[in-house]
Structure 1
Amino acid sequence: MEQIKRFFNDKNDVSKDADIDYSQAGDYLEAVKALARTTYQSLYVINYQTKSFEYVSENPLFLCGKTSEEVKELGYAFYFQNVKPEDVEMLVKINEAGFEFYDKIPIEDRKLYSISYDFYLINSKKNLVLVNHKLAPMFLTEEGQVWKALCAVSLSNNSSSGNVVLSKEGSDEIWRYDLIENKWEKSEKIKLTSREFEILSLYASGLTINEIAGKLFITADTVKFHRKKLFEKIGVNNIAEALSYAKTNKLL
């Protein structure tokens, strides 16, 4: 239990008698379950008041061979069983840095922010699987602490843990966390040209170069030209990395 407490920050201490408008939640879990069913995304909900998982979807990626109910019952103990030990320490650091950042945001803006990062899960076959984890606040206390948050887990196209990015809905500003220097660095979202956006969107749909060329009424060489320019702009080497970058930085 002492280990688990490290994931919870004093700046987001939601006590049992916290001032919470409970009516804001309603039947929200039904909506989350419907999203999980229709998209088959790996989703779970954190309740910071009870320091537990309130819901875990049945997508096997996050479960590591367990059932969704088993992971739900484990809550944060799941991380100590199924996350690479070095990455557990990294997650504690990200958690602390995230709430330090969050504490400085105006309360009315807090639901607009989300955080993304990568870490290694240890699956049921004891293999390491690099996943991307996104967390967004759903409900707040009257004082602005996160009461419940929605998390989405997917395979990462990056090559290592970390890659911590905070972003705000409707803003071109993003913040990256330097895990070595322990500080947030603000930058602007890279802007894609309309052609780059079209090509990347079609790649995300699973189309080949020739199929994209046909859709856009351009040659395959022109697709390759725009793809090369895109790779240079965002600093990646292949389309998998480009799609991962676009997803993390909300370019699509």
Structure 2
Amino acid sequence: MKNTNHSTLLTKNHIGKISDDERFQQQDYLEAIKAFARLTYESVYVINYETMTFEYVSENPLFLCGHSPADVMKLGYEFYFKNVPDNDLTLLNTINEAGFDFFQNLPGEEKIRYSITYDFHLLHRDGKKTLINHKLTPLLLTKEKKMWKAMCIVSISHHKNPGNVFIHKQGSGELWELDLKDKAWRKSTKPKLTRREIEVLQLHAQGLSINEIAAQLSVAPDTVKYYRRQIFDRLNVSTIAGALSYAVNSKLI
């Protein structure tokens, strides 16, 4: 990618000068972000679109690629260009363009209820790649309802390939999937699990084996296997780890 202004490649979201009244909104919000980061295994960071910098980066190692949080904050958007493969950088540009086009067309304060999730690779210093899931949601909006600051969460992806781009609306079953071929959003609804399927997933999350789950539910082990197959089909995954990751990330359990 031959472009000296790297930040323009990864975001269409450019905002003007922030007023004093708007700055008053933020006050000590970063303390809440830091407290959340202490409680989760996931990596947390905050993007400031006014300055095109990272305003906060947690100590959780997954996103750091061997750097310190201070190093990543200093790198800012340059971090992506140092630690994301070229093919995935192209993907991120596509997601950025489509995502902010979608966001721009949402009504006013409604924008704060939406989040986007997608997968891409991070390159580590030893040359290894990790497929991560990246979630982003608005943290603060400007008076013009543009995204001023965004909170991002990074975890291990349960998919095998990058992409898998979805927008979720809080408090609803609505979601939109990005068709990467024609760069269009397709609206659908979140998959639903039955009460018994949710029970099976919750027991798996507690570390129980198939036989232990069968005893807990007073059913045969083959019945538990049937429920697992149903779960895999509904969530379009192939492992129980993938099912648990999908269910937790989608707030199904």
CA distance in 1, matches of 2:239, 2:48: 38
Match of 2:86 in 1: 85
Mapped partners of 1:153, 1:108: distance in 2:
25
TM-score when normalising by structure 1: 0.93
Q: CA deviation at 1:173?
A: 1.1
Shift in Å at residue 219 of structure 1?
A: 3.2
Structure 2 residue 191 is matched with structure 1 residue 172: no
Give unmatched runs, 5+ long, in structure 2: none
Distance 1:150 1:189 in 2: 23
Asked if 2 retains the 8 angstrom alpha-carbon contact of 1:20 and 1:140, the reply is: no
Shift in Å at residue 237 of structure 1?
2.1
Query: What is the rounded CA distance, in whole Å, between the counterparts of 1:20 and 1:121 in structure 2?
Result: 38
Which residue of the partner structure matches residue 228 of structure 2? 227
**What pairs up with 1:28-39 in 2 under 5 angstroms?**
28-39=29-40
Query: In 1, Cα distance between the equivalents of 2:20 and 2:84?
Result: 34
CA drift at 1:19: 7.8
Deviation at 1:243, TM superposition (A): 2.3
SS of 1:201's partner is helix
Structure 1 residue 186 displacement after superposition: 0.5
Q: From the superposition, tell whether residues 18 and 206 of structure 1 become closer, same or farther in structure 2 (CA, over 3 Å).
A: farther
Is 1:5 equivalent to 2:8 in the alignment?
Answer: yes
Deviation at 1:39, TM superposition (A): 2.0
* Secondary structure in 1 matching 2:199: helix
SS in structure 2 opposite 1:135?
Answer: strand
The equivalent of 1:68 in structure 2 is: 69
Matches of residues 157-236 of structure 1 in structure 2 within 5 Å?
157-236=158-237
**Matched position secondary structure for 2:62:** coil
Counterpart in 2 of 1:140?
Answer: 141
Q: Distance in 1 between matches of 2:230 and 2:18?
A: 55
CA shift digits 1:56-79 (9 cap, x unpaired): 001111101100000011011000
Aligned length: 250
Identity %: 50
Distance 1:230 1:221 in 2: 14
Task: Name the structure 1 match of 2:251.
Answer: 250
* 1:220–1:151 Cα change, 3 Å: same
1:157 CA drift (Å) = 1.4
Note the C-alpha offset of 1:15: 1.6
> Any conservation in 1 of the 2:192–2:234 contact (CA below 8 Å)?
no
Aligned CA distance change for structure 1 residues 2 and 18 (closer, same or farther; 3 Å): farther
- 5+ residue gaps, structure 1, are none
Once the two structures are superposed, what CA deviation does each residue of 1:40-92 show, in whole Å capped at 9, x if it has no partner? Answer: 32100000111000000011111011000000110110000001111011101
In 2, the alpha carbon distance for the partners of 1:248 and 1:181 equals: 26
Normalising by structure 2, report the TM-score: 0.93
What is the CA-CA distance between 1:8 and the residue it aligns to?
2.4
Q: Secondary structure of 1:221's match?
A: helix
**Aligned residue number for residue 103 of structure 1:** 104
RMSD over aligned CA atoms reads: 1.6
Contact 1:80/1:88 (CA < 8 Å) preserved in 2? yes
Other structure's SS at 1:6 match: helix
Q: Distance in 2 between matches of 1:109 and 1:25?
A: 19
- How much has 1:119 moved relative to structure 2? 0.2
